[in-house]
Structure 1
Amino acid sequence: MAQSVLKNKDYDIISVIYNSSQAVETCSQYLQDAESEGDNEAKSFFDEVQQMNNNLISKGKDLLKSRLQ
């Protein structure tokens, strides 16, 4: 049986990066909705969520890079 190129935990890191990327895109729409309705509190929340996901993406990429070298 052939060995998988990626270990499960590496695939899991890729999955987190992907899902965080999806969340960033989704939050962009939510930010627009909050802005169009003048809801600064919601806008601030979605902006924070988007930043947190961007941080997760960066950390995940760095971690994955070091594992795949």
Structure 2
Amino acid sequence: MSGVPQPRIKLTLLLHNQHAISAAFEEMTKLLSENGVGSVAVNAIAVMETQDTNAQGITNTIMRVRQL
């Protein structure tokens, strides 16, 4: 980690966390859909869409920080 500013590392870890949470929600959504709980699965899909939006915002911030 030498020479790499701490904020960049923290943002990258945050992005990895967003991806992990999204993967977990994707698995839960699949399980819910396959077990006839479609209304809950719809809500889980909305959460995944929000997670994707947040991950994109974090990615954009990382790219801006790298340009500094």
Asked if these proteins are the same fold (TM beyond 0.5), I'd say yes
Tell me which amino acid in the other structure corresponds to 2:8: D
How many residue pairs were aligned?
Answer: 67
Structure 2: unaligned runs, 5 residues or longer: none
Distance of 1:5 and 1:38 partners within structure 2 = 51
**Superposition RMSD in Å:** 1.6
Distance of 1:53 and 1:16 partners within structure 2 = 12
TM-score normalised according to structure 2 size = 0.83
| Cα-to-partner distance string for 1:1-36 (whole Å, 9 max, x where unaligned) | xx9332222211111110110111111111111101
Shift of 1:63: 0.5
Give 1:1-69 correspondences, 5 Å limit: 4-69=2-67
Q: Percent identity over the alignment?
A: 7
